[in-house]
Amino acid sequence: MLAGDSLWGQWIRRNLLKKKSFWEVKESTQTGSWVWRKMLKLRDVARTFHMKVVGNGRHISFWFDRWSEIGVMIEVLGDRGLIEMGIHREATLEEAIWNHRRRKRHRRPLLNEVEKELSIVKEKLILDMDDVDLWRWKSGFKPSFSTAETWSMTREVATPCIWGQSIWFAQATPKFSFMTWIAIRDRLATMDRIAVWNPGVDTTCVLCKRAPETRNHLFFECSFSSWIWEHIVKGLLGRAYSNKWNIMVELISVSTMEKRKRFCLRYALQVTVYTLWWERNKRRHGDPPRPMQVWLNS
């Protein structure tokens, strides 16, 4: 697992592994850095990506490396297998082959399979050839490690976000983008969401006082916010104008729209979302509403 010739590898072996296998170190250890402890917690994932090709067996842990198709021996046989096989925990594969006293018959059939595997490996052992580390690729195990391949196989594949670039664009104002991002993900503390953990709270929209407050109502089905939104973008959108939230998210994501028009629409959406949420919060906390003339001049 480690580059034995590097200074870092030697330090890890001496100070953190202390003659143990990387797979054997306890996850609860407080030794080493935060990064080292995170690596230990990812071993179950890493184990599926690594195996050994036997050369002389000197750098293969009999119990903790995957050197056989049977699997990792400590997982297959468990701690009980240490006693039944008579092979100590720190043994290399080479030591297990030459020092292990084979029994003719074990009670557990699996132990007999391991004994048979040891005999086969013993015949194939090449004393002047080093063991080889293999790493899993999509096409199978190879002697080279690929960060890109490993990331590709371990990442969670999700549906591409069609609106991401419509929120995070170069000319955007960060606080407007952030607020709109929260709104698109429907994570604003609108009253319908607050009512889930605080039943009985008044969910009426403070802007129009006519309907329950939800994300879609606030942007822009509410009579107050709809009036503001229409005043800002109807001249820009013309027949395409809508006060429906989902339609507006789709519109700002249209890549074929003329560049300046698309920028104006995106920026207008972000400014309006930010300002309406700010106004909503002020009213929710008892401040008087701003006069319509102030909104018209904004």
Other CB atoms within 10 Å distance of the CB of residue 104? 6
> For the chain, how many structural domains are there in total?
2
Beta-sheet strand order (sheet of 140-142): 50-53, 132-137, 140-142
Q: Burial, 117: exposed, middle or buried (Cβ in 10 Å; 0-12, 13-18, 19+)? A: middle
The answer to whether residue 213 is domain-embedded is yes
172 and 138 in a common domain = no
This prediction has a pTM of 0.57
> Please, what is the angle between helix 174-184 and helix 259-284, to 10°?
80
Domain hosting 82: range is: 48-154
> What are the tokens at 275?
């300002």
Angle at 76 between CA 73 and CA 78, to 5 degrees: 85
pLDDT in tens, 134-190: 999 999 999 999 999 999 898 887 788 888 889 999 889 999 999 999 999 999 999
Residues 127, 175, single domain; the answer is: no
pLDDT digits (tens, 9 = 90+) for 225-240: 999 999 999 999 999 9
Quote the CA–CA distance of 276 and 48 in Å, as a whole number: 51
Residue 234 lies in a domain: yes
Same domain, 201 and 290: yes
Are residues 122 and 199 part of one domain?
no
